[in-house]
Amino acid sequence: MDAINEILIYLVQTFLTLYLLAMLLRFLLQLVKADFYNPISQFLLKITNPLVIPMRRILPGYGGIDLASLLLSVLLQLAGIVALLLVNGLGLPNIALLLLWSVLGVVGLLVNIYFFALLGMIILSWVAPGSRHPAIYLLYQITEPVMAPFRQALPPMGGMDFSPILVFILINVIQIALRHLATGVGLHPALVIGI
């Protein structure tokens, strides 16, 4: 029975993680006004539209923020937490605590997305400078709004851009704060995607 539970937990976590990532990427791409016609954007739209389109009838966007995708991300995180608690035979905490855990998980996952997107941009700037690949272009569109203020604060020196170091420091500070906040509200890191 333990093997079946472990397999079930793995499958639930994998499916929810991938779909949650797709939903958050959709949210981010709309937030930064990324290229809608990029094939990767089109793929993300196709797989998330079945949930986002009905939710938009209830919760339309506001000021360029796709509230439906954001709320669905929190709800997917919540579903993952509930599923893992139930599969492990644990009781469910109150709904306010579950929602807080879900929000913390979504914020943690957003921070992780930026960490890996920035890392990817740094590596690609060395191995494929000036590439026109759709994935590289989307990475640039996601990271540039965050990088621009740091580039202004720390302009390139000797042809080297040290501003990513400042962004990585900020990301690490946010991750430390999120871990301590999660511990403070009794959240076990294995229950959420992103922390």
Write down the pLDDT at residue 41.
92
User: Do residues 167 and 159 lie in contact, with contact meaning Cβ atoms separated by under 8 Å?
Assistant: no
Write down the pLDDT at residue 173.
95
Under the banding of pLDDT at 50, 70 and 90, the label for residue 117 is: very high
More confident residue, 132 or 118: 118
Instruction: Provide Rg for the chain, Cα atoms.
Output: 18
What does the pLDDT average to over 125-149? Answer: 85
User: Do residues 21 and 113 lie in contact, with contact meaning Cβ atoms separated by under 8 Å?
Assistant: yes
The pLDDT tens digits of the residues spanning 87-110 come to: 777 788 889 989 999 999 999 999
Write down the pLDDT at residue 80.
87
pTM of the model as a whole? 0.87
Report percent pLDDT > 70 for the chain. Answer: 98
Measured CA to CA in angstroms, residue 77 lies from 3, 53, 84, 91, 145 at distances of 24, 19, 11, 17, 26
Helices (H), 88-162: 95-127, 134-153
